[in-house]
């Protein structure tokens, strides 16, 4: 049986990288005494799949991974047990059972919602909000994106699904599938450049609010939080 686990990552633990988070959860699952399935061989490992890696320095309210279990009690009981094994700043938000047909967390990722703000010292020195709306409403948003080998010109527009500006906070819903995977910093960097400004490397405070997949329905491609692909029991 496969379960999908949703967690948040806030505070100092945001400086822990993705690989270390995976190691952290492997140990936490042991501490929590979850009856997880192991692969065979001399160094057996837990059968788990993480949704979308979160960069160092980013916080999140919507991280996911899937876990294969040998036996199951209830979603609530597993959630409680895991939470007693957590470090400060990491919290299990939900545990759901995945239907047999569901793809794994990583393959299911389609979009992510981000909350972005400028650090106080890095607030743009111009009236940036209307300019940003104007920028995001262009027909196309051409940027240079670094690939492994070279720089490539890319239109960001189709990857930005929606945006909203609330006071000093910018909300983005962007493509996070393996084909797109747009980082909010890339958008804002392009914006600042278009306004003849530069964006310093650590200017943004970014929180991933949710990670989305598509509802398993060929008629209607609707984005839903990854947890909603699973069900409670």
Select from 130, 116, 134 the least CA-distant residue to 184. 116
Alpha-carbon 159 to chain mean position: 15
Task: Out of 1, 38, 155, 157, point to the residue binding another protein (CB under 8 A).
Answer: 38
Radius of gyration of the chain (CA): 19
Q: How far is the CB of 100 from another protein (least distance, A)?
A: 25
> Number of H helices and number of E strands within the chain?
5, 11
Query: Does residue 157 interact with another protein by CB under 8 A?
Result: no
Q: Are 24 and 87 in contact (CB under 8 A)?
A: yes
Contacting another protein within 176-215 (CB under 8 A): 201-202
Query: In the complex, what is the shortest distance from the CB of residue 123 to another protein, in angstroms, rounded to a whole number?
Result: 15
**Member of 2, 5, 10, 153 binding another protein (CB under 8 A):** 10
Closest contact distance (angstroms) between CB of 231 and another protein is 28
Residue of 1, 20, 134, 152 interacting with another protein (CB under 8 A): 20
State which of positions 86-145 bind another protein (CB under 8 A). 87-89, 119
Q: Does 231 bind another protein (CB under 8 A)?
A: no
Taking the least distance from each CB to another protein, the nearer of 85 and 160 is: 85
> In sequence order, what are the residues at sequence separation of 6 or more whose Cβ sits closer than 8 angstroms to the Cβ of residue 19?
none
104, 51 Cβ separation under 8 angstroms? no
Closest C-alpha among 98, 109, 111, 87 to residue 47? 98
Binding mask 67-96 for another protein (x = CB under 8 A): ------------------x-xxx-------
Locate tokens 């996911």: which residue? 64
Give the residues lining the site for another protein (CB under 8 A). 10-13, 15-17, 20, 23-24, 26-31, 38, 41-45, 56-57, 85, 87-89, 119, 201-202
């Amino acid at each position: 049986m496969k379960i999908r686990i949703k967690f948040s990552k806030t505070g100092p633990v945001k400086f822990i990288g993705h690989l270390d988070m995976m190691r952290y959860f492997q140990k936490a699952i042991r501490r929590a005494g979850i009856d997880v399935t192991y692969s065979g061989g001399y160094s057996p490992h837990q059968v788990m799949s993480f949704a979308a890696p979160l960069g160092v320095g980013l916080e999140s309210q919507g991280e996911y991974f899937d876990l294969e279990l040998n036996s199951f009690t209830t979603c609530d009981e597993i959630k409680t047990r895991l939470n007693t094994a957590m470090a400060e700043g990491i919290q299990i938000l939900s545990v759901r059972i995945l239907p047999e047909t569901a793809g794994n967390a990583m393959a299911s990722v389609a979009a992510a919602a981000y909350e972005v703000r400028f650090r106080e010292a890095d607030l743009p020195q111009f009236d940036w909000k209307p300019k940003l709306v104007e920028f995001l409403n262009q027909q196309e948003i051409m940027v240079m994106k670094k690939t492994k080998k070279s720089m490539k010109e890319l239109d960001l527009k189709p990857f930005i699904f929606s945006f909203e500006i609330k006071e000093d906070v910018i909300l983005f819903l962007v493509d996070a599938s393996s084909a797109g995977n747009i980082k909010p910093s890339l958008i804002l960097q392009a914006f600042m450049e278009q306004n003849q400004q530069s964006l310093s490397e650590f200017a943004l405070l970014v929180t991933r609010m949710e990670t989305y997949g598509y509802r398993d329905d060929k008629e209607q491609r609707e984005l839903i939080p990854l947890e909603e692909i699973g069900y409670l029991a």
